[in-house]
Amino acid sequence: LGRVDLMKVVYGESSLAGSGKVSQDGGSAAAAGLDESEDDEEGDDLFVLKGSADEGGRAASNAPAAGGGVDAPDSSRVRHESRGWDPDETIETLRNRFVTGDWAAAERR
Amino acid sequence: MLRFEGARHFRARLLAACLTGRGIRIDRIREAAATPGLRTHEASMLRLLEKVLVGAEVVINETGTSLTFRPGLMGGGAVSHACSGRAIGYFLEPLVALALFGKKELRATLKGVTNDDVDVSVDAVRMALLPLVRRFGVEERVELEVRSRGCWPAGGGEVALRVPPARALRPLELTEEGLVKRVRGVAYACRVSPQMANRMAGAARGVLNRLLPDVFIVTDHAKGATGGASAGYGVLLLAETTAGVTYCVEVAASPRADASGTAGGGGAGGAQHGGEMEAPEDLGKVAAEQLLEEIARGGCVDSERQPFVLTLAAACPGGASRLRLGPLSEQAVEMLRILRDVMGVTYRLDAEPNTKTVIAACVGAGVKNAAARYH
């Protein structure tokens, strides 16, 4: 991932309304899907209610479906996908980020 | 006047407007939802802003789907606010950033939910967010006192925030990650057995002790008047590195399903919580694993604090800021867009493939605090 790519992903879209492109989350398939249905809004799905994603209010932070759509809930909480830290090998991959690890290896990082 | 659409990133848009003094308009707020328009928490956020701003003007249309906001100037002073619809952390994040640019010292008393599973808790604001303010060269004491805890839905918590206007915010140079040297934490339990806190702390320690001996988790069993009105428990973990970088994560039990009926303004959202509260051992383990994920992502600012730091660096007067971040969170990406569109600050983003981190650099827009603007 070079510099150009990252700049494009972040700044390729506008946060403002009516700036040509519909603002949506960079590359999130779920969000793109939701926004597409937004575009059709004037058409046949006039009376179709949107899902709980744009209900706003309080969605549990561990519900990944909360993202996407122009009314996506506004929360700073982040929940990472856990890779499963139980096997010792997995946890050892982080060893050199701790003072208990190899300091020279940490320097090379 | 800048125009936005929809309810997403509501606070980020308002904050950017306040910092630049530019008016914004948001249309089509939940236009297609069963109950269209602004929610309780958003109205509450606007009311709080009206209390701390001087000359702010908020106009909402009849259905609540369109909002015009002219921010005026940040005043500060003593305010008291009942935070409804969402936890206090939702209101604190923009308020802290804004208060640094105030005319007078902000002394805010906020009441409501201090800890839940949706918003950043008051403990995270106190332990992770406020220390970051010091990185911008703010010498004055920025404090958050947790007077009582309160869990979702009934709340009953109270915090006191004190933020003096920053005389001079300094550009940020934050690229050294360091090595994790210790982990601190808070395990709280409100209106449940005090054993809950110990069980969460024990489970979290069990995971983290495999990498580090120095793990110390305070247990806080809030009882009586300081325990709020609802049952709840959760744990916050904060890893500190040799370079003074902190990684903070938190986990809280989902409120009981039967409690959703009393959720003030939560409405349909509250009903999404189902079943029993998670076992404290599971929560402790999840928190520890979340912390490991956060450390694995790296950078000098943790995921939840990325938008806050990016905002302050962009508002900073005089000179360039440089900071190292882990993979950008979704909120951070949108914050970057809003900062460009409202404040006119574009970051230079350089990905470093070998560390999988991003170096973000910008020249601040030079937002002065309201006190300075009068001289």
Please give the pLDDT value at position B254: 92
Unique residue bearing structure tokens 């660096």: B313
Q: Give the orientation angle of helix B195-208 with respect to helix B280-297, to 10 degrees.
A: 40
Amino acid at A52: S
- A98 CB near a chain B CB, below 8 Å? yes
Q: Which residue of B has its CA nearest to A41?
A: B32
Please tell me whether the peptide bond between B153 and the residue prior to it is cis, using omega within 30 degrees of 0: yes
Please give the pLDDT value at position A54: 44
| 3-class secondary structure, B299 | strand
From the CA of A42, how many Å to the nearest CA of chain B?
11
CA B32 – CA A17 distance, rounded (Å): 17
Are residues B106 and B99 in contact, defined by beta-carbon separation less than 8 angstroms? yes
Which chain A residues contact residue B5 at CB under 8 A?
A: 17-18, 23, 70
Average per-residue pLDDT for chain A: 68
Output b/e per residue, B308-338; b: 16+ Cβ within 10 A: bbbbbbbbbbeeebbbbbbbbbbbbbbbbbb
Please give the pLDDT value at position A26: 39
Q: Residues with Cβ < 8 Å from A100, sequence gap 6 or more? A: B211, B212, B213
Please give the pLDDT value at position B171: 94
Are residues B33 and A71 in contact, defined by beta-carbon separation less than 8 angstroms? yes
Please give the pLDDT value at position A3: 53
ipTM: 0.85
Please give the pLDDT value at position B371: 67
Question: Between β-strands B232-241 and B143-148, what pairing exists: parallel, antiparallel or unpaired?
Answer: unpaired
Q: Which residues pair with B2 in a beta bridge?
A: B24
Please give the pLDDT value at position B44: 98
* Whether residue A27 has pLDDT greater than 80: no
Unique residue bearing structure tokens 């009849």: B62
- B247 CB near a chain A CB, below 8 Å? no
- B34 CB near a chain A CB, below 8 Å? yes
* Residue that wins the pLDDT comparison between A47 and B168: B168
- B209 CB near a chain A CB, below 8 Å? no
Q: Which of B41, B303, B351 sits opposite A2 (nearest CB)?
A: B351
**Cα-atom radius of gyration of chain A, to the nearest Å?**
20
At residue A2 the predicted structure's pLDDT band, cuts being 50, 70 and 90, is: low
Q: Kindly report whether the global pTM for this prediction surpasses the value 0.90.
A: no
From the CA of A88, how many Å to the nearest CA of chain B?
9
CA B269 – CA A66 distance, rounded (Å): 11
Backbone angles phi, psi at B35, to 5 degrees: -120, 105
Which chain A residues contact residue B308 at CB under 8 A?
A: 76
Are residues B98 and B15 in contact, defined by beta-carbon separation less than 8 angstroms? yes
Output b/e per residue, B17-55; b: 16+ Cβ within 10 A: bbbbeeebbbbbbbbbbeeebbbbbbbbbbebbeebbee
Per-residue pLDDT of chain B (375 residues; tens, 9 = 90+): 999 999 999 999 999 999 999 999 999 999 988 999 999 999 999 999 999 999 999 999 999 999 999 999 999 999 999 999 999 999 999 999 999 999 999 999 999 999 999 999 999 999 999 999 999 999 889 999 999 999 999 999 999 999 999 887 899 999 999 999 999 999 999 999 999 999 999 999 999 999 999 999 999 998 888 999 999 999 999 999 999 999 999 999 998 755 444 444 444 344 444 568 899 999 999 999 999 999 999 999 999 999 999 999 999 987 899 999 999 999 999 999 999 999 999 999 999 988 899 999 999 998 887 766 554
Structure-token pair, residue B69: 């906001």
Backbone angles phi, psi at B24, to 5 degrees: -130, 160
Q: What is the pLDDT of residues A57-100, one digit of tens each?
A: 565 544 444 446 889 999 999 999 989 898 888 999 999 999 99
* Residue that wins the pLDDT comparison between A10 and A53: A10
Q: Which of B10, B180, B304 sits opposite A74 (nearest CB)?
A: B10
- A30 CB near a chain B CB, below 8 Å? no
Are residues B166 and B247 in contact, defined by beta-carbon separation less than 8 angstroms? no
* Residue that wins the pLDDT comparison between B361 and A106: B361
Q: Which residue of A has its CA nearest to B117?
A: A61
Please give the pLDDT value at position A59: 57
CA B186 – CA B283 distance, rounded (Å): 13
Structure-token pair, residue B143: 């404090």
Please give the pLDDT value at position A43: 47
Are residues A72 and B4 in contact, defined by beta-carbon separation less than 8 angstroms? no
Task: Please choose, from the candidates B232, B249, B330, B328, the residue with its C-alpha nearest in 3D space to the C-alpha of residue B293.
Answer: B249
Question: Between β-strands B215-222 and B173-174, what pairing exists: parallel, antiparallel or unpaired?
Answer: unpaired
CA B253 – CA B231 distance, rounded (Å): 10
